[in-house]
Structure formats: structure tokens, C-alpha cells
Amino acid sequence: MLNNLQQQPADALLALIKLHNSDPRADKIDLGVGVYRTGDGETPVFGAIKAAEKKLVETQDSKAYLGPEGDMGFVEALMPYVFGKANPTQDGRIEGMQTPGGTGSLRLAIAMAKRAGVTRLIVGKPSWPNHNQICADLDLEVFEFGHANADGKTDMDAVRGAIAQAQPGDAILLHGCCHNPTGIDYSNAEWDEIVGLIAGKGILPIIDLAYQGLGNGMEEDAYGLRRVIASVPEAIVCYSCDKNFGLYRDRVGALYVLAAEKDGLPKIMSNAHALARANWSQPPDHGGAAVRLILEDEALTKQWLAELDEMRDRMRLMREKLAAAGKTGGVDLTPIGGQNGLFSIIPFTPEQVQAMRDKHGIYFAGSGRINVAGLTQGNIDKFIAAVADVTA
């Protein structure tokens, strides 16, 4: 029977990694893999995580099962950073659970939304490819709208049009900050408008917050999510610690649900737990426990936030240098300076993407998405010169 399965296309990013690794040139540049890199090109373990892991080894006295909800100490410790310190539970209307990374949270959120009666997910285009893949696997219809204009700004007309066409049973997925793959975020004023439109339509918002702290700051990056939470009766939040704690391979995420009434939360979370049980039984514990230990310790929290500030500042510097190059060959790099997070899209043609690889040893996705954190003081001039060469 297994011979009935159809061959699936290779993952484009994994193929890109292999191409880069096999390139013998010493000055090759990897702008494809979506991880943070230092000015030396390394993806380090946070010092705060190292300290928390040491403490965990010394104090953890059991590896017994925790249940499908995972480490609730981790889930609760994270809430003030997500929803605000003043009222993180929104008067008891928010409850959460741990998930295997942001992907696990999204899978669970979309499956739960479908079980609740959602028949279509409204998604901005372009988006992280896995959003559509999860919907396809769950047989949930996707309705796409244009997220950004060619000038590097949000396409609010497309957003308004998509929400105006929303129907009963629709949900809308929004990136909380540091949009993947464009880096183009909604302004606070645009979030205010979007929230009003969503509330007026009564559709279910699903917020993907995978990069908090990598845009403009922990508080600033939560603005849109908090405006949504304050303005609608129900919402789902998908959170990832993989980036802002550097825990990529440990798969650390959380799912939070805002219920119309706090009395409805037990029923809602029972469905979330049942779906998690059927998918992964329970999430891996180590990374979540390390995050919990950081957030429970004032000194470790301060160290983590300082390390996060350093990451954000380095990426901002790379963006400023790209923007300062302005019109480079046939493309304008200026808008990149106003974008956020790891990613931006440069409008290369497929032939230009290939030329960047073949002529200059610079690797990134075929869509033109670059990982800004792959640029350093030592290679950014080469990158700008290569852009000018292939797009002239």
C-alpha cells in the first residue's frame, strides 16, 4: 500500500542548505536559513539559556510526564510579556498550553478553529509557506489577500477588501510582528483600523507571534496583538520562543485562547488538550523549562533581554546599511530600513537569484527572501555590490 504514496517535492530551503554547504568558495554567504546569526556568522546559545540549563540540571528531580498542556509554569510566566503585565489573563478569559514550537501551536490553533466551525482562513500573501501547508493538510480553505505593495509598504486596501468579503465561519491569520517573509509590519494606526474591521465582522483572529522582541522591542512588538485581544470576544494566539530565546531545535512554543466568557475556557481547552494528545501527546520539556527558569529569575530575565536587545540592534544596523545603499542596480534597497525582524524580500527575478548564487556565492530563497541576520560588517559590501551587478 505504501507504494500508492506520491513523491513529494523536496523542501526548497533544505535543498538551498545543501547547495550552500557544497560551495567551496570561502566568501560564500548564506541568507537563506531563518536563524539569527552574530557578526561572526554564528548562531549561539543565549548566555541566559546556558545559565538556566545549568540550574535545570542541578535542580530537576524527575522526567515524568507533564500531560498535553506541558509546563504550565512556563506558559504562565510568559503571559505578562505577551499580554501585558497589568492584566495578562484578561480577567480570567485567557488560558494557554505549551506546544512543540510555533509550528505546533499553529497546527493546533487551525485544527481547533476547524473543529469549532471555521471553514476558511484569510491569509495575507506572501506568508510563511507552512501556513498554507497546514491548512491544506487539514483540508481548510484559504482565502488570500495582498499583504504588501511593491513600494515596501502594507497594502491596506487589500486588507480592507479581504475583511469586507469575510463570511460567517471565517478566521483571519495575522503576523503579530516581524512579518515572514517580507519584514513589512502594520503600523500602530493600521493595527487600530484592522482591529475595528475584524471586530465589526465578527471573524476569529489567529495571531502568529513568532518574533517578539526582534522588531522594535518586547512591548512595541506586542501592540497589534494586545489591541486585538482588547477588542474582540474570542481569539487564538500562537507563540514561539524559538527565535527570541534561540531555542530553534528545542521546539518551544505556546498556544493561548481568549474566550468570550471565562466559564467557557474549560470546554475550549479540553478540545485543545485532546487535539494535542492525538498529535504529539505532550510537548518536549527541556526548552520550556529553561525559559520558565529565566522568567522566574530577575537577573536571568535581565540578561536575556540584554541579549535580545543586542540581536535586534545588530539586525537594525544591517538594515540601515542596506537602506543607505538606496538605488542599487535595478532595485531600491531603501525600504528595507523601515522593515523589521529577520526577513525582507528583494524583487529579484529567478535569473537574478541564480546569478547571485553562481557568480557571487550568495544563497537565499527563490522568492527573493533574504535573512538580514546573515549579513555582517564583513560581507554586506559584497552583497550590495553583487545586487548592483546582477540587477543592473
DSSP string covering 215-264: SS-TTGGGHHHHHHHHH-S-EEEEEE-TTTT--GGG-EEEEEEE-SSGGG
Q: Are 254 and 292 in contact (CB under 8 A)?
A: no
- pLDDT in the model for residue 15: 83
Alpha-carbon distance 272 to 111, whole Å? 9
Active-site residue (options: 71, 128, 170, 321): 128
> Strand 170-175 relative to strand 204-209: parallel, antiparallel, unpaired?
parallel
Burial class (CB in 10 A: 0-12, 13-18, 19+), 346: buried
Q: Are 246 and 49 in contact (CB under 8 A)?
A: yes
- Determine which helix (DSSP H) or strand (DSSP E) holds 305, and give its type and residue range: helix 298-325
Alpha-carbon distance 232 to 228, whole Å? 6
In the block, cell 494557554 appears at: 96
DSSP state of 29: E
Alpha-carbon distance 291 to 52, whole Å? 8
Mark whether 302 is an active-site residue: no
Active-site residue (options: 243, 250, 285, 321): 243
- The helix/strand/coil state of 328 is strand
Alpha-carbon distance 51 to 57, whole Å? 10
Q: Are 281 and 130 in contact (CB under 8 A)?
A: no
Alpha-carbon distance 154 to 189, whole Å? 12
- pLDDT in the model for residue 10: 78
Q: Are 198 and 232 in contact (CB under 8 A)?
A: yes
Mark whether 263 is an active-site residue: no
pTM: 0.94
- Give the pLDDT means over successive 10-residue stretches in the chain (392 positions): 90 84 93 91 94 96 93 97 94 96 97 97 95 95 93 93 95 97 96 96 96 97 97 97 96 97 96 96 96 98 98 97 95 95 95 96 94 96 97 92
Residue 54's nearest CA partner among 252, 242, 244, 294 is 294
Q: Are 345 and 368 in contact (CB under 8 A)?
A: yes
Terminal Cα distance for the chain, rounded:
53
- pLDDT in the model for residue 13: 79
Q: Are 370 and 364 in contact (CB under 8 A)?
A: yes
- pLDDT in the model for residue 294: 98
Mark whether 243 is an active-site residue: yes
> Strand 369-371 relative to strand 343-345: parallel, antiparallel, unpaired?
antiparallel
Type of residue numbered 113:
A
Alpha-carbon distance 60 to 140, whole Å? 41
DSSP state of 374: G
- pLDDT in the model for residue 16: 87
DSSP state of 9: P
Active-site residue (options: 185, 208, 250, 285): 208
Of the CA atoms within 13 Å of residue 150, those in its CB half-sphere come to 4
Q: Dig out the grid coordinates for 123 from the structure.
A: 491569509
Residue 347's nearest CA partner among 181, 210, 146 is 181
| Ordered domains of the chain (ranges, CATH) | 10-44+314-391 (3.90.1150.10), 65-296 (3.40.640.10)
